[in-house]
């Protein structure tokens, strides 16, 4: 890919979703847009760039961002976060709070919000008004998350008792596929959201926000805007959980660090 074309594609990515691609990503971008180019019967990168620039309804921009954004996830990823979450839920239940709102800011293909939902079902009574908002910029991964179907490899990190309680097994072409049950799906609202474009349409207050392993793709001004918006949406005493690789030490923010990657408003 010509370097000038890459720089223009890089700018389109940044302007639309805040992901800051470094110059080592030329091959990755070229490989990821190849499928879109084949579908559109476009042979040259310059022609695809022109197609994007002239995308008036935003459909191709959305599909372009879908293939560029990275989605690496797993059930109960970073277990200590879920241990903390469980203890926090227990505190909320003991306080007899009747409304709980949770936001999973980068839901990917659904492993994280369904993990959150499983912890909630074990800790919180059905009498409590509980909802989980799960957002992502990629319409492609949101479709997979809503469908809630996972192979054997994907569910290896889920305790067997939870699999038995919250998943239904099906054999498809001699392979086991596990379907998330409606008891979990009914707790979650999946929505497309661009974390680059603040303010967000939610009102809050949120009890806890999981925003893990997404800020690593943003520059410092974008991170600071995102953190400020999460702070606005959280209730006093509410928590933000970030990825372990995402430090907030160098950013302007009003959060109090409770543990590594766990912050309180």
Residue 173 has φ and ψ, to the nearest 5°, of 50, 45
Alpha-carbon span 63 to 16, nearest angstrom: 12
The DSSP secondary-structure symbol of 198 reads P
**Three-state DSSP state, 66:** helix
CA–CA distances in Å: residue 38 to residues 19, 41, 42, 70, 138? 24, 5, 6, 21, 20
Other C-beta atoms within 10 Å of 21: how many? 18
Which tokens go with 39? Answer: 């579908």
Residues 204 and 235: beta-carbon distance below 8 Å: yes
Residues 191 and 103: beta-carbon distance below 8 Å: no
CA–CA distances in Å: residue 242 to residues 164, 167, 212, 245, 265? 30, 27, 4, 8, 14
Residue 108 has φ and ψ, to the nearest 5°, of 50, -135
| Catalytic residue IDs | 32, 136
Angle in degrees, 0-180, between the axes of helices 59-68 and 3-17, rounded to the nearest 10: 100
């Amino acid at each position: 890919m010509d370097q000038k074309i890459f720089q223009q594609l890089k700018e389109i990515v940044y302007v639309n979703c805040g992901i800051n691609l470094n110059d080592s990503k030329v091959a990755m971008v070229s490989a990821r847009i190849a499928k879109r180019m084949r579908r559109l019967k476009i042979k040259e990168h310059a022609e695809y760039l022109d197609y994007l620039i002239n995308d008036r309804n935003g459909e191709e921009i959305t599909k372009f961002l879908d293939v560029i954004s990275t989605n690496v996830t797993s059930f109960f990823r970073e277990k200590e976060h879920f241990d903390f979450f469980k203890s926090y839920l227990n505190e909320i239940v003991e306080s007899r709070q009747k409304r709980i709102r949770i936001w999973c800011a980068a839901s990917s293909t659904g492993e994280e919000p369904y993990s959150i939902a499983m912890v909630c079902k074990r800790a919180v009574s059905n009498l409590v008004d509980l909802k989980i908002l799960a957002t992502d910029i990629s319409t492609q991964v949101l479709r997979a998350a809503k469908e809630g179907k996972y192979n054997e490899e994907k569910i290896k990190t889920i305790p067997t008792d939870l699999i038995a309680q919250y998943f239904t097994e099906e054999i498809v072409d001699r392979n086991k596929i596990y379907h998330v049950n409606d008891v979990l799906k009914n707790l979650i609202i999946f929505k497309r959201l661009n974390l680059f474009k603040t303010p967000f349409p939610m009102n809050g207050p949120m009890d806890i926000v999981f925003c893990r392993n997404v800020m690593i793709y943003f520059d410092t001004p974008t991170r600071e805007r995102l953190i400020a918006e999460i702070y606005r949406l959280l209730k006093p005493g509410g928590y933000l959980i970030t990825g372990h690789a995402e430090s907030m030490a160098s950013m302007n923010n009003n959060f109090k660090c409770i543990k590594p990657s766990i912050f309180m408003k």
